[in-house]
Amino acid sequence: MSRPAIAHIRLDAFRHNYRVAKQMHTGSALAVIKANAYGHGALQCAKAVANEADGFAVACLEEALQLRQAGIKNPILLLEGFFEAIELPEIVANDLWIVVHAEWQLNILLESKLAKPLHVWLKLDTGMHRVGFSPSDYVSAFARLNQHKNVAKIVHMSHFANADYLSSGHTKQQVAVFQQTINQLPRSQLTDADNHSLEASLANSAAILGWPQAQANWSRPGIMLYGAHPLDAHLQNQAEPKLYFKEQQMLLPVMQLTSKIISIRTINKGESIGYGSIFTAERDTRVGVVACGYADGYPRLATGENKISAPVAVDGKLTQLIGRVSMDMLFVDLTDLPTAAIGSQVELWGDQISANAVAKAAGTIAYELFCNVKRVQFCYSGG
367 belongs to the catalytic site? no
Pairwise CA distance, residues 137 & 113, whole Å:
25
* Range list of β-strands (E), the chain: 6-10, 28-32, 55-58, 76-78, 97-100, 118-123, 151-157, 199-203, 218-219, 255-267, 272-273, 279-280, 285-290, 311-314, 317-322, 330-333, 345-349, 377-381
Q: Residue 52: how many CB atoms within 10 A of its CB?
A: 13
Q: Helix or strand or coil: residue 259?
A: strand
Look at residues 282, 281, 324 and name the one whose alpha carbon lies nearest to residue 304: 324
Give me the catalytic one of 149, 172, 275, 374: 275
Look at residues 301, 300, 330, 302 and name the one whose alpha carbon lies nearest to residue 314: 330
360 belongs to the catalytic site? no
Give me the catalytic one of 34, 123, 260, 360: 34
Note the Cα 35 to chain centre separation in Å: 9
Long-range contact list for 73-78, CB < 8 A, 24+ apart? 74/46, 74/50, 75/30, 75/119, 77/30, 77/121
Note the Cα 48 to chain centre separation in Å: 17
Q: What angle do CA 155, 157, 159 make, to 5 degrees?
A: 160
Catalytic residue set? 34, 275
